[in-house]
Amino acid sequence: MASEKTVVCGGGGFIGGHLVADLLRQGKKVRAVDQKPLEEWYQLFPGAENLQMDLQEKENCERAVPGCALVYNLSADMGGMGFIESNKALCMLSVLINTHLLMAAKDAGVERFLFSSSACVYAADKQTDPNVTALKEEDAYPAMAEDGYGWEKLFSERMCRHFHEDFGMITRVPRYHNVYGPHGTYDGGREKAPAAICRKVIQAKLSGSNEIEIWGDGHQTRSFMWIDDCVKGTQMIMHGDHAEPLNLGSSELVTINELVDIAEEIAGVKLKRRYNLSAPKGVNGRNSDNTLIRKLFNWEPSTRLRDGLERTYRWIHDQMISPSQDSTPLVRHTVS
Active-site amino acid positions = 149
- Count of other CB atoms within 10 angstroms of residue 288: 28
Amino acid at 119: A
Cβ within 8 Å of residue 229, ≥6 positions away: 250, 301, 302, 303
- Count of other CB atoms within 10 angstroms of residue 250: 27
Coil, strand or helix at 191: coil
Measure the CA–CA gap between 13 and 34, rounded to whole angstroms. Answer: 8
Measure the CA–CA gap between 138 and 11, rounded to whole angstroms. Answer: 30
Measure the CA–CA gap between 204 and 196, rounded to whole angstroms. Answer: 12
Backbone angles phi, psi at 204, to 5 degrees: -65, -40
**Contact of 51 with 32, CB cutoff 8 Å:** yes
Measure the CA–CA gap between 227 and 195, rounded to whole angstroms. Answer: 12
Cβ within 8 Å of residue 185, ≥6 positions away: 14, 42, 79, 191, 192, 195, 329, 330, 331
Measure the CA–CA gap between 45 and 32, rounded to whole angstroms. Answer: 9
Instruction: Tell me: cis bond preceding 182? Omega within 30 of 0 counts.
Output: no
Bridge pairing between strands 68-73 and 225-226: unpaired
Measure the CA–CA gap between 234 and 8, rounded to whole angstroms. Answer: 12
Amino acid at 71: V
Coil, strand or helix at 49: strand
